[in-house]
Structure 1
Amino acid sequence: MTREQPPHPLSPQDCLVAIMIAISAADANMRTAELVKIQNAVNHLPIFGAYDIDRIGDVSRIVFDLFSEEEGLDALFGLIRANLPEHLFETAYALACDVAAADGNIPESELRLLEEMRHELNIDRLHAAAIERGSRARHISG
């Protein structure tokens, strides 16, 4: 089966957006708080300074198309590894953790995807724990 390729290769920023969209969509319920977190990251983080915000729709479609395929998650990680520089792997994981924690509830499906991301992005356990703790601290509700 041939997969339609994106109009141009994914940029590192596209990969970061894809990771955030993927974690939000993991439980089949993209919550408003998660979408706001993605929008805020793209609008305010320096890594997205020159990013074309219109690409979010394109990247979202790629993620949703991949998620509709049997081996879509593997294909998504393949795209991420092929287009995201290794020095941004921890950034990707941190953004995923922030999106997952944004609504104060991390369902089992998101926890499993975060675990898969740790493995696929080769995030050291200690670094992952620190990133996760930071996300929890930033998103505690009271």
Structure 2
Amino acid sequence: MTAQDALVALMIAVSASDANIRTSELLTIQQIVNHLPIFAEYDIDRMQQAAQTVFDLLEEEDGLDALFGLIKDAIPVSHFETAYALACDVAAADGRLQQTELELLKEVRYELAIDRLHAAAIERGARARHLPL
């Protein structure tokens, strides 16, 4: 799994966390992959494989732990905050945060050792970007 695959997998996991993958979340993931420099060299055809990996792992008993292991192995520590920011953007994309999404974001913060103050700033930025008028 490449670092980009891991970022896509994390975004898909956040989207799937409430058992309802919304179109707005999928469009946000697509837009992120199409526009951010971190995905400049990414083969978009790999997204389906990353998604299937997430779905397969989430069906297993310790699948979330395995997913976090893959993510932490693939993404450099220097990009953990980027990973969290992308996860927050996907969670905020539909304009409402479900309890399951909040719990997964909390787990992401813990697993990626995101400082609480930094996490709050990232969350506030995601909220501001996705706030409807």
Question: TM-score under structure 1 normalisation?
Answer: 0.93
Question: TM-score under structure 2 normalisation?
Answer: 0.99
Partner Cα separation in structure 1 for residue 126 and residue 41 of structure 2: 25
Gaps of 5+ in 2: none
Displacement, 1:82?
1.1
Q: 2:7 aligns with which of 3, 9, 16?
A: 16
Alignment of 1:76-115 (within 5 A): 76-115=67-106
Gaps of 5+ in 1: 1-9
Q: Which amino acid is the alignment partner of residue 20 of structure 1?
A: M
Displacement, 1:14?
0.5
Q: Which residue of 2 aligns with 1:36?
A: 27
Partner Cα separation in structure 2 for residue 126 and residue 37 of structure 1: 25
Runs of 4+ that moved beyond 2 A: none
Higher fraction of helix: 2
Alignment of 1:52-63 (within 5 A): 52-63=43-54
1:27 aligns with 2:35: no
Partner Cα separation in structure 2 for residue 105 and residue 85 of structure 1: 30
Max Rg structure: 1
Partner Cα separation in structure 1 for residue 130 and residue 63 of structure 2: 30
The share of aligned pairs that are identical, in percent, is: 65
Q: Which amino acid is the alignment partner of residue 62 of structure 1?
A: T
Displacement, 1:137?
0.4
RMSD: 0.4
Q: Which residue of 2 aligns with 1:46?
A: 37
